[in-house]
A and B are shown apart, each in its own frame.
Chain A
Amino acid sequence: MAAVTYDHVVKRYTADVTVVKDLNVDIKDKEFMVLVGPSGCGKSTALRMLAGLESITEGQIRIGDRVVNNVAAKDRDIAMVFQSYALYPHMSVYDNMAFPLQMQHMKKDEMDRRVKNASKILGLDPFLKRKPRALSGGQRQRVALGRAIVRSPKVFLLDEPLSNLDAKLRGQTRIELQKLHRELETTFIYVTHDQVEAMTMGDRIAIMNAGILQQVGTPGDVYDHPANLFVAGFIGTPTMNFVPVTTSDSTAKASGFEAKLPKSVPAGKGTLGFRPEALTDRQSADGSNLQMKVDVVERLGSDQYLYGQVGSDQVTARVDPRMKVAPGDTAQLGLDTRSIHLFDAESEVAFF
């Protein structure tokens, strides 16, 4: 159990290849923190620096109050679950889980107690004598988790642990991991490229892109108040609609409609962002209504998504599933301007 601090951390491979740029994150004790971003954004490197598997070029990483920059991986008291699980193929499930305890020279009976306990939590009892080769993907994944939890480490690191599982198992394991986090009361740091995993599991989410931390916040925060265009586009499915607009005082003029802005902004160019659920078949309270030429209708039972043109812009709307609409129709839609976002055209930073 410990807090983790990234303090101006930089990872540079060569003079012009910098994969993590000035990373500052405070991860609280017992927090479930998710690092999320597209592949190559530096999230795994950030995790591996914390694990001691990559050197830190600049800055400090602290576990608790201890600066770990020059502490070897084996002395950091962390446990890590790898994407490939990295089970020792020549050892039985039991030995795989006992390995980190053997490294601590733990007494046999205590070791046995802990391994048995972990295998009970994870439902691995029937497989303790098997080799990893004889296990299914989901079982291997649980052994990797077991190997991590037997140690009661200060921090858990999970590097895309679900990406090799099928969709159904992934959903189950997501729930199990959250349960495990509650039971173990330990700091979890979880790396993923999947924003759904991030949104559902994290106490807080840190979103990275191109080596730069974009935003840190609770799932609600980053969903409702994205700090910039990248975060707005990365979080949420279907993705947020982006429409180029010209602003003057408190209206934004797009190619096909005008929207009232909740705040006045300096006149100029910008990008208006609104999630599909803000564009519905209900009339807007402040008259920000628009007409969509519908290209595609997607019925999901509980929802109905319309994809089409508004002016010269491609947008998505989420409408009542009972609304009768067909491709080629023109739909009358209303924009809920309380949940729209405006981004600066140059810096892509959000005004609101």
Chain B
Amino acid sequence: MDFSVLLQDIPTLLVVIIGVPAILAAYIVGGEFLVRRLPDKNRPQVRPWIWVGPALILVAGYLLLPAIGTIGQSFENNAGNWVGFNNYASQFADFPQGGAWVAIRNNVIFWLIFYTIFTLAFGLVLAVLFDRVRYESVVKSLIFMPMAISSVALGIIWIFMYQYSPTGESQVGTLNAIITFFHHDPVVWLQDQWPSDKFNLLNNLALIGAATWGITGFSMVILSAALKGIPGELLEAARVDGAGELTVFRRVIFPLMMPTIVVVGTTLVIFALKAFDVVYVMTGGNYNTDVLAFRMYEQLYTAGNSGHASAVAVILLIAVIPVLIFNLRQFRAVEARR
């Protein structure tokens, strides 16, 4: 990369290098100076605001204001004229195949259920099994590795995994190589609309599978930490009390991990609702694999309809908020129990 461009405007560079830290330092020193002038009893109320102030300003500037702008835009057409709920109406038009319905179904049924359950189940099973493995940290690092891959690379890896060549030709895609080995015809995983084009589970599951592979490490690591938080003596007590390993899991380990499972689960629900990258890279939303976040992107950049895009964004936001609140509450409950 050519860094010489930075040197073309030395004064700006200096302002950035010296000015930004200086302003921060001035803010902290100045804020603290002002707080000290306050009467003793008011200080504890004012001081926290000085410290969270910069964060609040950033959140307001980069999140809150744009969100309000988006909500405004969702009631306007491209020309900026008020159109009421028209943008929303066209998202909810022509049930079940029109508007945003396919995207809504994929998000709220397929992704939300399968992505969440697969990831939780794999994460839990791996956490519990690896807890008894001697090379636990090595194996766990391996499972966690996909988290380090960019989701675009992940999508491309899985395009190869799902690669289709016509019957008779040698199969480059791993999955098709396996199933043709067992004398099954190769499957066009990313396009196959099994069981029907009104309820096309298979290609959606193929996308969800790729995304699950990428996120299982996250769920495993957190669940594994929760598992390690259960005192060993509890499990020993259960064994002495006459419980077999499965009963120990069902009656002791699982209930004690439940709060963490719920937190991870709701986090995954939020991820599921926000799913975008895998769909964008692997199918471009074709063959009824659209999701809300992708539809929002497509409405804005392909269709050039900012009103529709904003409406989709608001629908997504409204879907996520209750889960988010529940998640935060649950997380606080888990923390309080420690």
Docked-complex contact A86 and B251, CB < 8 angstroms = no
Report chain A residues within 8 Å CB of B238: 88, 99
Query: What residue of chain A has the Cβ atom nearest to residue B236's Cβ?
Result: A53
Among B240, B243, B251, B256, contact of A51 (Cβ-Cβ < 8 Å): B240
A88 in contact with B247 given A51-B240, A100-B241, A100-B242 (CB within 8 Å):
no
Report chain B residues within 8 Å CB of A272: none
Docked-complex contact B234 and A74, CB < 8 angstroms = no
Q: How far does the Cβ of A91 sit from chain B's closest Cβ, in whole Å? A: 8
Cβ-based interface call for B96 (8 A): no
Query: What residue of chain A has the Cβ atom nearest to residue B241's Cβ?
Result: A100
Which stretch (A58-66, A76-84, A279-287) binds chain B? A76-84
Cβ-based interface call for B39 (8 A): no
Report chain B residues within 8 Å CB of A88: 234, 237-238, 251-252
Report chain B residues within 8 Å CB of A89: 234, 256
Docked-complex contact B240 and A79, CB < 8 angstroms = yes
Query: What residue of chain B has the Cβ atom nearest to residue A78's Cβ?
Result: B240
Name the interface residues of B109-153: CB closer than 8 Å to any CB of A. none
Docked-complex contact A84 and B233, CB < 8 angstroms = yes
A90 in contact with B255 given A74-B242, A103-B243 (CB within 8 Å):
yes
Identify whether the interface residues of B are mostly helix, strand, loop, or mixed.
helix
Docked-complex contact A82 and B233, CB < 8 angstroms = yes
A344 to B227, CA, bound (A): 53
Q: How far does the Cβ of B249 sit from chain A's closest Cβ, in whole Å? A: 13
Cβ-based interface call for B231 (8 A): yes
Among A79, A84, A157, contact of B231 (Cβ-Cβ < 8 Å): A84
A127 to B237, CA, bound (A): 21
Cβ-based interface call for A312 (8 A): no
Docked-complex contact A99 and B236, CB < 8 angstroms = no
- Contact residue range for chain B? 10 to 19
Report chain B residues within 8 Å CB of A80: 236-237, 240
Docked-complex contact A52 and B256, CB < 8 angstroms = no
A contact residues, total (Cβ < 8 Å): 25
Docked-complex contact A86 and B233, CB < 8 angstroms = yes
Query: What residue of chain B has the Cβ atom nearest to residue A53's Cβ?
Result: B236
A83 to B234, CA, bound (A): 11
A179 to B2, CA, bound (A): 85
A82 to B244, CA, bound (A): 19
Query: What residue of chain B has the Cβ atom nearest to residue A77's Cβ?
Result: B242
Name the interface residues of A80-127: CB closer than 8 Å to any CB of B. 80, 82-84, 86, 88-90, 99-100, 103-104
Cβ-based interface call for B43 (8 A): no
Cβ-based interface call for B228 (8 A): no
Q: How far does the Cβ of B60 sit from chain A's closest Cβ, in whole Å? A: 40
Report chain B residues within 8 Å CB of A296: none
Q: How far does the Cβ of B230 sit from chain A's closest Cβ, in whole Å? A: 9
Docked-complex contact B242 and A104, CB < 8 angstroms = yes
Among B236, B242, B255, B256, contact of A82 (Cβ-Cβ < 8 Å): B236
A300 to B233, CA, bound (A): 41
Report chain B residues within 8 Å CB of A51: 236, 240
Report chain A residues within 8 Å CB of B247: 103
Report chain A residues within 8 Å CB of B242: 74-75, 100, 103-104
Q: How far does the Cβ of B89 sit from chain A's closest Cβ, in whole Å? A: 48
Name the interface residues of A115-146: CB closer than 8 Å to any CB of B. none
Report chain A residues within 8 Å CB of B234: 86, 88-89
Report chain B residues within 8 Å CB of A100: 241-242
Docked-complex contact B243 and A82, CB < 8 angstroms = no
Q: How far does the Cβ of B325 sit from chain A's closest Cβ, in whole Å? A: 25
Residue of A51, A74, A79, A104 with most chain B CB atoms under a 10 A cut-off: A74
Cβ-based interface call for A73 (8 A): yes
A147 to B247, CA, bound (A): 17
Docked-complex contact A74 and B239, CB < 8 angstroms = yes
Among A86, A104, A151, contact of B236 (Cβ-Cβ < 8 Å): A86
Report chain B residues within 8 Å CB of A157: 240
Report chain B residues within 8 Å CB of A74: 239-244
Report chain B residues within 8 Å CB of A104: 242
A99 in contact with B241 given A82-B233, A82-B236, A86-B236 (CB within 8 Å):
yes
Report chain A residues within 8 Å CB of B237: 80, 82, 86, 88, 147
A88 to B247, CA, bound (A): 14
Report chain A residues within 8 Å CB of B243: 74, 99, 103
Q: How far does the Cβ of A134 sit from chain B's closest Cβ, in whole Å? A: 13
A79 to B238, CA, bound (A): 10
Query: What residue of chain B has the Cβ atom nearest to residue A157's Cβ?
Result: B240
Q: How far does the Cβ of B330 sit from chain A's closest Cβ, in whole Å? A: 16
A52 to B247, CA, bound (A): 17
Docked-complex contact A73 and B239, CB < 8 angstroms = yes
A79 to B242, CA, bound (A): 9
Docked-complex contact B252 and A53, CB < 8 angstroms = no
A74 to B238, CA, bound (A): 8
Report chain A residues within 8 Å CB of B231: 84, 86
A159 to B247, CA, bound (A): 24
A36 to B326, CA, bound (A): 52
Among A83, A90, A147, contact of B241 (Cβ-Cβ < 8 Å): A147
A90 in contact with B240 given A82-B233, A84-B231, A103-B247 (CB within 8 Å):
no
A-facing mask of B250-276, CB < 8 A → 1, else 0? 011001100000000000000000000
Docked-complex contact B241 and A103, CB < 8 angstroms = yes
Docked-complex contact B256 and A73, CB < 8 angstroms = no
Give 14 CB contacts A-B under 8 Å.
A52-B239, A53-B239, A53-B240, A74-B240, A76-B240, A80-B237, A80-B240, A86-B234, A88-B234, A90-B255, A100-B242, A103-B242, A104-B242, A147-B237
List the 10 closest pairs (A to B, CB-CB), nearest first: A103-B242, A86-B237, A100-B241, A86-B233, A73-B239, A80-B240, A74-B242, A90-B255, A82-B233, A53-B236
6 extra A-B contacts, CB within 8 A, seeds A72-B244, A80-B236, A88-B252:
A53-B239, A79-B240, A79-B241, A86-B236, A90-B255, A151-B241
